[in-house]
Chain A
Amino acid sequence: MDVLNAIIVLANFVIVPATAYGAQLALGALGVTLIYGILRFSNFAHGDTMAFGAMVTILMTWALQGAGITLGLLPTALLALPVGIIVTALLLIGTDRLVYRFYRQQKAKPVIYVIASLGVMFVMNGLVRFIIGVDDQRFADGERFIVSARTFREMTGLDEALAIRTTQGITLVVALIAVVALFWFLNRTRTGKSMRAFSDNEDLALLSGINPEKVVIVTWIIVAALATTAGVLYGLDKSFKPFTYFQLLLPVFASAIVGGLGNPVGAIAGGFLIAFSEISVTYAFRRAANHLLPEAWEPDGLVQLLSTDYKFAVSFTILLIVLIFKPTGLFRGKSV
C-alpha cells in the first residue's frame, strides 16, 4: 500500500506534469530542428513564434466563445487552432520574404542568420505585446479535470491523490498526432522526401530538380503548425503570458541540441529528457520517501537536489554537458 502511495505521489508531481511539459518542449524543439536541418540556421525567434501563434488562437477562441460556439468538454482553443496556424504561417512566410530570403540569396554565413533571427525575435516579441498586452490571459474552458484530486481519493481510498488535467491529456494526444503526421509527411510524401533531400545535400537536391523556394515555404508552414500547436498547448496547460514564451526559448533549444540538431527523433527525446530532468531535479522527494522507507529512516530534510529557483539552470547544465562530450547530440544530429 505504501509503495502504491509513493508511486501516486511521484505520478502526481513528477510523471504527469513532466510528460505534458516534455510533449510541449518536443513540439517546440521539432520546429527548431526542422529549421536548422532544412534552412540551416538556429531560429531564435521560435519562442516568440509560439507566442504569436498562441495569441492568434486566443483571439479566435474569444471570438468563438463570444459567438456562443464551444467544444463542450474540450477547450474551444482546439477549434481555433487551425486559424492560428494559418495566420502564423502567413507571418512566417512574410518574414522569410522580407528578411531571410535576402540572406539566402547572399549565401550568408549561419551566424548572420542567427543575428537576423534575433532581430525578428524582438519584432515579434513587440508585436505580441502590442496586440494582446503583457498580462496573463486565461483562455482554457471546458472540463478542467480528467481525474481530479478529490475524486481520485474517493475512488481509490488512498492517502495520496492523483490529478490529471484535461489540458495534460490533450497535450499528449495532440502532440502524438502532430508527430505521427510529421513523420508520415517527411518519410512518405514526395514533398517530404524532397525536403529531406534538400536537407541532406542542397546542391544535389537542386541538380535533381527540386524547387528550393517550395521546400522553404512548406518548411515554414510546418514550422508554423508545430510552433502554434506547442504554444497553444503550453498556454492551455499553464498560462499565456508573452514573457514566459520568451523564457521558453532556452529549454526548447536545449531539447533540440541535446537530441541532436536537425534530427526529429532527437528533438522528441530531448524534449522529454529536459522536462523530466528539470522537474525531478527540483522536486522534493520527501513525501515519496516517507511512504517507502521504514519510519526510522524517514528523512528530516526535503530530499531536494536543487531549489525550484534553479529550474532554468538545469537546462543550461545539460546543454553544456552534451556540448562538451557529444557535440552532435544524443541522436547524431549536425554539429552545432
Chain B
Amino acid sequence: MKKLLLATAATAALTGAAFAEGHGDGITLGVAFGFTGPLESLAPPMASGAELAMAEATASGAFMDGMSVTSVRGDSTCIDASAATAVGERLITSDDVSGIVGAMCSGATTSMLTNVAVPNGMVMISPSATSPALTTIEDNGLFFRTAPSDARQGVVMAEIIMERGIDEVAVTYTNNDYGQGLADSFAAAFEEMGGTVTIVAAHEDERADYFAEVGSLASAGGDALVVAGYVDSGGSGIVQAALDTGGFDTFVFPDGMVGEALTENFGSDLDGSFGQNPGTDSNGAALFQEMAAEAGFDGTSAFAAEAYDAAALLILAMQAAGSTAPADYAAHVMDVANAPGEEIMPGELDRALELIAAGEAVNYEGATAVELIEPGESAGNYREIEIQDGELTTVQYR
C-alpha cells in the first residue's frame, strides 16, 4: 500500500513536472489540415505557412516572455467527418494544444468545431473553409476564419452595382452549388439595399445555344445582367446570346467569369461591363511570398497566406490576453486583427509582440490584408474590374 501511494505521488510529481515544462517555456498549436483527400496538394504549403508564423514568434523571443511556439500536425482529411473529429480530440486531449489552425474544408471544419472544439472550449481559426453555413454556426465565439464566406462576394457585388446607380438587374447562374449560392446571396443583399431583381434563372453548361434562356432574361428586363457562371462554358454562351439579340449590353461578372477568355471572346463589345474577383493590392502578399521562398515552399499556393495569418492571429491574441488559455484569448482575436493600432505586415510579428507587451494596440494586416467582420470571418478583399476598350482594368480594391 505504501508502495502504491509512493508510486502515485511520484507519478503525480512527474506529471506536474511535465505539465510545468509544457507550459513553462513553450506552447503547442494544432495544425489540422486535409493532408490526405481531395485537396491534399494544397495542405503542405498551408501547413508550412502556419508553421512559418510560429517559427517567427519563437525566434523573436518576445512571445509571452520568451515562450516557444511549436506545431503538431494532424490530418483532418477533407470529406471524412469522423476522421476530423478524431484528430481534433487527439490534438486537444493528447497533444494538449493551446489553439488549432484548421480545419481545411468546410465539412471537416464543421464537424471538428461542433464535436470537439466547442465542447472543449478550444479556439479554431480556419484559413480555408468558405461555406456560408459556418457564418451562422453555434460556436460560442471560439471559431474564426481568415477566408471570406462565399456569401460575402454577393454582398460586395451588390454594393458595386448600387454604387453605379443600377437598381434593377436580372440574374442567371450556372446550375450548381457555387452558382446558386452566389446568386442567392447576391439577390438577398441587393434587395436589402433597395434594388430589384427581376428574375433569378439557372442555365445549364454545355448547351449549344442560349437564346431561349436569354429570351426569358430579357423579357424579365433589368438594366444589367449578372452572370454567375463560368467563362469557359455556359457563362460565355449567355453573354454571346445576349449581345447578339441586343437583350442586354451591360453585364456584371463575379469571379467565375473574370478571366482573359472573356476579353478574348468578346473584346470591346463588353465595354462598360464590370465585376469583381478576389484580390488585394496590399504588399503583404509580396512580402509573404519572399518569406515563403526563403523558407522553401510555394507562397502563392492557395490559402498558404491565409494559413500564415491564422497562426499569427492566434499568437497575437494570446499575447494580447497575456494568457494561452483559449477562454482568455478568444475575445482578443478580433482586437488584434482590426483597427485601431499599428499596422503589422508579415515578418513583423516580433514588433507586434513587443508593441502588445508594451500595452499598445496593433492592427494585423498580414499576408492577406486581414480584416475580420462579425462573427469572426474575413471580410474578403475584392478587386473591382471594368472592361474598357476590350481590356480588363482594375477600378479599385475593396
Contacts and interface: CB of A to CB of B under 8 A. Distances in A.
B245 A12 contact: yes
Given A238-B208, A282-B212, A309-B204, A163 B246 contact: yes
Interface string B225-252: 0000000000001000000111100000
Interface size classification for chain B: 20 to 34
Contacts of A286: 219-221
A149 B246 CA distance: 5
Given A149-B246, A284-B219, 20 more contacts: A12-B246, A13-B215, A145-B244, A149-B245, A161-B246, A163-B244, A163-B246, A234-B208, A241-B206, A282-B212, A282-B215, A282-B216, A285-B219, A302-B199, A302-B219, A304-B216, A304-B219, A308-B212, A308-B213, A308-B215
B113 interface: no
Contacts of A70: none
Interface in A142-159: 145, 148-150, 152-153
Interface size of A as a range? 35 or more
A279 B212 contact: yes
A40 interface: no
Interface in B242-270: 244-247
Contacts of B246: 12, 148-150, 152-153, 161, 163
Nearest to B236: A136
B213 to A, nearest CB: 5
Interface of A: 12-14, 17, 145, 148-150, 152-153, 161, 163, 165, 234, 237-239, 241, 243-244, 247-248, 278-279, 282-288, 302-304, 307-309, 311
A284 B220 contact: yes
Contacts of B244: 145, 149, 163, 165
B202 A13 contact: no
Contacts of B191: none
10 contacts: A13-B245, A150-B246, A243-B206, A282-B212, A282-B215, A283-B216, A283-B219, A286-B221, A287-B221, A308-B212
B3 interface: no
A233 B219 CA distance: 27
A237 B210 CA distance: 12
Nearest to B211: A17
Contacts of B199: 302
B212 A244 contact: no
B209 interface: yes
A51 B113 CA distance: 53
A303 to B, nearest CB: 8
A199 to B, nearest CB: 32
B202 A309 contact: yes
B345 interface: no
